[in-house]
Amino acid sequence: MDSTITPGAADNEVITLRVDESDEGTRLDAYLAARIDGWSRARLQRLIEEEDVLVNGKTAKVSLKVRTNDEIEVELTPPASANFIAEDIPLDIVYEDDQLIVVNKPAGLVVHPAAGVNSGTLANALAFHFQQLSNAGSIRPGIVHRLDKDTSGLLVAAKTESAHEHLADQFRARKVFKSYVALVYGVVREESGRIEQPIARDPGNRTRMAVVAGGRGALSLYKVRKRFDSFTLVDVELKTGRTHQIRVHLAWMKHPVVADELYSGGRENNLDVRRRALIRKLKRQFLHAERLGFNHPETGEEMRFTATLPEALTQLLDELETV
């Protein structure tokens, strides 16, 4: 039998377990309770129900019987906190009806609370601005999917449990259209391409993801929008939704996202003084969720939304034309 894991203090830590032959047939919640030190079976059941547990890349039921060599990925999200309060944080609302809201999230805004972060998030803002949201009473009211803190752009939130379920089903079935704009270091040679590389937690650094043999399948499609001296502006369509997928895939291509502190490896240090100064002035990574499409959870109507590039990003592009 595998030994237990004692999670660290990292926010929303993700751990991966592989089922040993001796645990064949054990219920998923019981298996996790025996493996993850300090987490009760009830809390782990909640994680499974909130789809923070994946078995072989798929969501599962609490009662699932695990099998030998199953790979189980668990995102240890913190429980609802008594400190979670609705906050009057401005929102750029792109669309709203009685089922859902589409917002244009600014860079720097965390989507929902995590360990040690109970305020100042998109979830806190949604709780203030909307009286009805799915997952009411949790730390993720309305949240169907996420964007990284320093990624701006379109995000859909659900007002009802039914809408949440329908939208989540579309994300799982890869029926949601998600297209991003990224400025990357270097000149991308091909006009378009396909990056199909598996992604998993970086074995050498648990705060990062990486292309890892045996990781979860991930597919990104890119197309060059504009070329600059030392940079390329690309559109990237996500066909899967792995953590940090675009950032990891572009870094794997040797063209990391501009100003991405986690994956660019100090690439700006190779630039001349003027370009380096422009990048350091940006104060965020150049990644924006520009287009989002899905079917309305109640009517089935095809819905498409676009969010123009934030001013800070357009300003950088303008400045790169002159250096």
User: Which residues belong to the active site?
Assistant: 148
Residue 166 bridge partners (DSSP): none
Which residues of the chain form beta strands (DSSP E)? 13-18, 53-55, 58-59, 71-76, 93-96, 100-105, 152-158, 177-185, 192-196, 199-201, 209-211, 219-228, 231-238, 287-295, 302-306
**How far apart, in whole angstroms, are the C-alpha atoms of residue 294 and residue 145?**
13
User: H/E element holding 136?
Assistant: none
Block residue for tokens 């790979």:
71
The residue behind tokens 């690439």 is: 267
Map 186-238 to HEC letters. CCCCCCEEEEECCEEECCCCCCCEEECCCCECCEEEEEEEEEECCEEEEEEEE
Q: Are strands 287-295 and 209-211 parallel, antiparallel or unpaired?
A: unpaired
Q: How far is CA 131 from the centre of its chain?
A: 25
Both tokens of 167, joined, read 């939208």
| Coarse DSSP helix, strand, coil percentages of the chain, rounded to the nearest 5 percent | 20, 30, 50
